[in-house]
Every structure is written in C-alpha cells, then in structure tokens.
Amino acid sequence: MAVLINGTTGIDKVQDDSVDIADLSATGSPSSSTYLRGDNSWATAGGATSINGLSDGNTTGTDNVGLGTNVWGSGSYSGTYNTAVGKAAMYATTSGQRNVAMGREALYTNTTGSYNVGIGMNAMNQNTTGNNNIAVGYDTLLSNTTGVRNTAVGYQALTANTTAGYNSAFGYLTLGANTTGAENTAYGAEALSSNTTGSRNVAVGYNAMRVNTTSSDNTAIGDQALELNTAGTNNVAVGRRALENSTTGYANTAVGTSALTGNTTGVRSTAVGFEAGDNTSTASDNISIGYQARPSSSSVSDQCTLGNSAITDLRCNDTSISSLSDSRDKTNIVDIPLGLSFINTVRPVSFDWNRRDGSMAGKKDFGFIAQELKTVADATDYADHMRLVHDDNPDKLEADPMKMFPILVKAIQELSEQNTALAARITTLEG
C-alpha cells in the first residue's frame, strides 16, 4: 500500500502503484542518470569518472597516479609509473620513475630519484636523486638526499641520513642520528640511535649500541649489548648486556648474558658464558670461559680462566699443555742455580678445603700453601723467574707449583750426581 501525507487534511490513502514519474510535479527532466532532489527538482548524478576528474587528482606523465593537493606541484613532470598520495607528495619530482609516496610531503624534494618507497608523513622528504630506498614511518629517511639502497621502518628511523647507503633500520629511532655511516644494520628500538658516521655495525635488540657515534665494525646482539660503546671497534657482543659498559675498548668478544659487562676500556679480551669476565673494567687480553668465569681481579690482564670455583676437574685427552720453547726465541741461557737445596725449603701439605666463598667445603687435597711458597721464593734472587704465587688479588693468593718442575729436574740431577759419587766411593772402599 502506498500512502500520501497531506499537510492540511492528514493522511490520504492511494492505491498501490497508482503514482509514477509522470504524476510528479518536479522541475527538470527525469532520466536513468538523474535523481529527485529535496527541492522537488531533477538533478544529474555527479562524481568523477577518472583520477583527473577529482579536484586533487593528477595523472601527469605516463602511468602515474597522484592524489592530494600539490602532488607533483612543480608542474614540470615527465616521470613514469609513480604513485603519490598525500598533500605535496613528490612535490618536486621531475623525471623520477617507479616511486611510491604515501603521506603528507612524502618524497617532497625528490627530483630524479627512482625506485623509492616512502610511506608516512615526511618519509624521504629531502630525497633528491637517491634510488632504491624504502622508508616506512613518520620522518623516516627524512634528510636523505642521495643515499641509496637504505631501508628504514619505524618512527624517525634513519631520519638524519643524508648520503650514506646500504643501511637497514627497523624500529623506533633506529639509526636516527646516522648521517654518512654506511652498511649498518639496526633492529630494535633505539638500536644504533646515536650513530653518525660509524659503518658496518650490526645492532639487534633494544638499546643495542645506543650511544655509538663514529666507531665501526662492531656486532651487538641482545638487549643493551654494547650500549655505551662510543669509539670501540671490532667488538662482538652477543647476549643481554654483553659488553654493555664498554666505551673505547676494541677487539673484544663477549658471548652470554652480562659477559664482559663491566669492561670499559679493556681490549682484546674474550668471555664466553653467563657473567663471564664481568668483573674486569680496564684489563686486556683475558680469556674467561664458563659460567661466572672471572680473572683474579678487576684490573689483571693476560689471564685465562676456565670455569668458576665449582670446577674441580680439568679434563682433556692430552695431559699436558705445550708452549713455545724455541732456542731462537731466548737469550741469556744458563743452567738454573736452584735445585735440591731449594726443594728442601718447600713444604708439601695435606688439607681440607674451607674456602671463604663456601665452595669445595670439606674436599680433601694435597698441595702447598701460597704464603709459604711466596716466602721461600722471595728468599732467593729468582722469584721473578719462578712466579710460584700470583698476588694480583691480594685477598685470594693463587699458587702455580708446576713452575717448580725445572727445579725438580735439577734436584734429581744433583741427587743423581751424589748417588754416582757415593756408588764410586763404595766401589773403591769395597775394592
């Protein structure tokens, strides 16, 4: 049923299908492309039939699509296969090809740069001739002018980059200060965020290499790994907080959570294991392998530490360790002056361990007392030759009794001579 509302007499009923277009008293001519307006007139349906039909549409050039105020605003454009969406996107482009710009002033200054992707407000805003770049996020690659083959994803990633190329930045402020540093990879919020000219660095993890500025050839993988590095080079840090506090140290390798985390300026050290070598700061050329394996003190250098105080057996298929002993590498070669008389001053002891750190409690052992070895060694003129006691950490003296092996050989030779002399005397007396 159709109803007709009458403003003066109320609601009148009309028969179904009893009213058609011809019965309407509207102005204008109806057709399949018109519609009845509220003012009782017929109007033609509007709308654009192409991009150029839009007030802010632009298809200048060949196979280009532009949508936004001042897209390709320079007015002189011959590029092909470009897509620009957003106010002033690709504003200055003249002949660049196969670019995609989406966002206000994305690729704004680009002139001839090609094969770029800029998505986000100001993405690649200053690019002029740089090619093959990808920028996704607000201000990503903002200052890039001629840098090539960069990838930036995240708020202000690589925002200061100008001419450097082959960088990859994924995350908030990653490589944000980079200007001319090349071939860097940063993944994780603020990774390499302060880097300016350093090159060939890899930083993966939150704040990894965050403070680095000019140093190169470092690898940091893990939350805060190498975070405070400024000028150190050729470092490898793998694990949360590995080499976290290192500033200028170089050629260090730290693998494991907090490995070498205390290092600041020490160089050429290697630490593998949880908190391995974490007690050193300025020491160099140390090797620490195992859970909490640490050199004897925070400043000592040139030590190799295998395991922590819980290790009681050192196992290897070979029972000795070889080292350089070539005569061509030695001078002042003379017979050692110490022998049987020195050995007679040394006291071997039996004891039970009662370490102050609680380790090895009650374990029985044979050995020597470090303080006693130091006393007998210092009584000679050859303490520096023997190096029987290491006192780098005065609170924990360490003994190296195998340094007496040459003295033991000399003592045996002296006993052998005495035995030979006694045997000859006996022979004479019995003869």
Q: Which of 12-26, 94-108, 131-145 has the lowest mean pLDDT?
A: 12-26
What is the per-residue pLDDT across 64-119, written as a single tens digit (0 to 9) for each? 888 988 887 756 677 889 999 999 999 998 888 999 999 999 999 998 999 999 99
Indicate the pTM of the whole model: 0.80
Q: Give me the chain's average pLDDT, please.
A: 90
Q: Identify the H or E element spanning 367.
A: strand 364-367
Written as one string, the DSSP assignment of 33-61 is: TEEE-TTSBEEE----SSGGGSTTEE--S
The mean per-residue pLDDT over the stretch 342-363 comes to 93
What is the per-residue pLDDT across 282-338, written as a single tens digit (0 to 9) for each? 999 999 999 999 999 999 999 999 999 888 888 888 888 889 999 999 999 999 999
Q: Beta strands of 268-360 (E only): which ranges?
A: 270-272, 287-289, 304-306, 349-352
DSSP lists the bridge partners of residue 221 as 204, 238
User: What is the pLDDT at residue 9?
Assistant: 47
User: What is the pLDDT at residue 57?
Assistant: 58
Contact of 66 with 87, CB cutoff 8 Å: no
The mean per-residue pLDDT over the stretch 182-208 comes to 97
Binned at pLDDT 50, 70 and 90, residue 4 comes out as very low
Written as one string, the DSSP assignment of 108-170 is: TT-SS--S-EEESTTTTTT-SS--S-EEESTTTTTT-SS--S-EEESTTTTTT--S--S-EEE
